A and B are shown apart, each in its own frame.
Chain A
Amino acid sequence: MKIMALGTLATALLFATPAIAKDTVPQFKSVEAKHFPRAEGVELSPAFSDYLYAELRAELTKAKLFGQVIGEDEVVDEADAPKSLVIVGTIMEYKKGSVVKDALIGFGAGMRSLKVDANVSRRSNQQNLTAIHVHVKVSPRWDEKVMARFAAKNIVKQLKDSLKAEAKTS
């Protein structure tokens, strides 16, 4: 009898777990990431901005925080605007780094670095939800696209943390 009861409980739990997982409704209906322009004096390849944008979209899709990740300048229904976010940002600083310093000194000297500032706002009333500051440091031997990937991951992580914190307080 006990075995049967335990078996029934285990079966119920097995069926309930995926159902719970499926019930998570995204907090926001859509999010739009814009291409990040460069601040004056930032020297990066022309493709970098495109790559950062594509990585950011890929990371936002992976995060599963939003119903859909829409393209840049896409039209959104007015009814959906309060539940839609827009991410705008600027590449503030880029330091190329030095392979020689990295090899001879080490301990972070000569690292390639990138600073990105981003703002997340609500589409309907332009209310600023969170400000994101990302500083990425990678080896000067690595491709700049690695930096774009790390920056995108960091931006989405900070956004996720901030939205979770906001949800808890409200």
Chain B
Amino acid sequence: MDSSRVAALRWSALLVCTLLSVQARAEDPKPTPENTITVQLAEPVKPQTFARPLKFFLVDVIDRSGNAQPMMVFKPRGGIFLDRTPVEITRAGLETCLKSANMLAADRDSADFLLTIYLFNFGLSDSSMDFFGKVEFAAMLKNPKTAKSQQVAASGTSIAGVAIRKKNIQKNIQEDIERAFSDALRNLLRGAKLRDAVAALDSPANLAPAPARSSAAPAATDKPLF
């Protein structure tokens, strides 16, 4: 008698758990055109000028955030989603900025420096009071001629006020992430860290014009091989 009661209790508990999990799965927000935002730069960030005109080639953007749902930036109230992955947004933003200053190389061979971006954070950071937008990445700068590389970290933050209406929440989050993204790109492209990295990696032969060679003492490379 008692064992049948216990079994019934167990079965009912299992049923409740199953129902709850089904409900929770049903509550998981899904991207729709209404809750999807487009994050893009309002205007391209103008990179700093270097000692000589340089061309950069964006090799890859790698997501290192460890976020299972990188496109979902806000979970409550039916969720808010990005229209593209943070990797695509970052690539497009960086290429636009470099292209606007004529610093984007067409291919790897014509580039003075290769850029690989490791994306650590893209979206909102935890904050109960307001929307705290944060974009954080590291750029690996590599000189293809010398194969030497150096890492440059960049980050951008922005704060936007909370809202009650879903439409306003969406607008605030979009503006917040756009500002943080623009700030991060500005931090990279106009930062002293990039200037120092370029100065350290740029080969001296490219920096200064090659001195005139005297005919009496030809350089070792000029000697015939055979």
Contacts and interface: CB of A to CB of B under 8 A. Distances in A.
Interface of A: 47, 50-51, 53-55, 57-58, 70-75, 143, 145-146
Interface in B108-164: 125-129, 132, 134, 155-159
B190 A71 contact: yes
B51 to A, nearest CB: 12
Given A53-B157, A73-B192, A145 B187 contact: no
11 contacts: A50-B125, A57-B157, A58-B159, A71-B156, A73-B191, A73-B193, A74-B187, A74-B192, A75-B191, A75-B195, A145-B129
Interface of B: 48, 125-129, 132, 134, 155-159, 183, 186-187, 190-193, 195
B192 A75 contact: yes
Contact of B128 (A57, A72, A73, A143): A143
Contacts of A146: 129
Given A50-B134, A51-B132, A54-B158, A71 B191 contact: yes
Given A71-B156, A72-B187, A73-B193, 7 more contacts: A54-B159, A55-B159, A70-B190, A73-B187, A73-B192, A74-B192, A145-B127
Contacts of A75: 48, 190-192, 195
Contacts of A53: 157
Contacts of B155: 50
A29 B126 CA distance: 33
A122 to B, nearest CB: 17
B157 A50 contact: yes
A71 B183 contact: yes
A75 B50 CA distance: 11
A41 to B, nearest CB: 25
Contacts of B156: 71
A71 B187 contact: yes
A90 B166 CA distance: 39
Contact of A47 (B126, B128, B159, B190): B126
Nearest to A50: B157
Nearest to A54: B157
Contacts of B157: 50, 53-54, 57
Contacts of A57: 157
Contacts of A71: 156, 183, 186-187, 190-191
Contacts of A54: 132, 157-159
A146 B126 CA distance: 14
A72 B193 CA distance: 10
Contact of B191 (A58, A74, A145): A74
A124 B156 CA distance: 25
Contacts of B183: 71
A47 B134 CA distance: 11
A146 B190 CA distance: 31
Q: Which of A58, A70, A73, A146 has the most CB of B within 10 A?
A: A73
A62 to B, nearest CB: 11
Nearest to B187: A71
A152 to B, nearest CB: 10
B54 to A, nearest CB: 14
A123 B22 CA distance: 60
A105 to B, nearest CB: 27
Contacts of B128: 143
Nearest to A146: B129
A59 B134 CA distance: 17
Contacts of A73: 187, 191-193
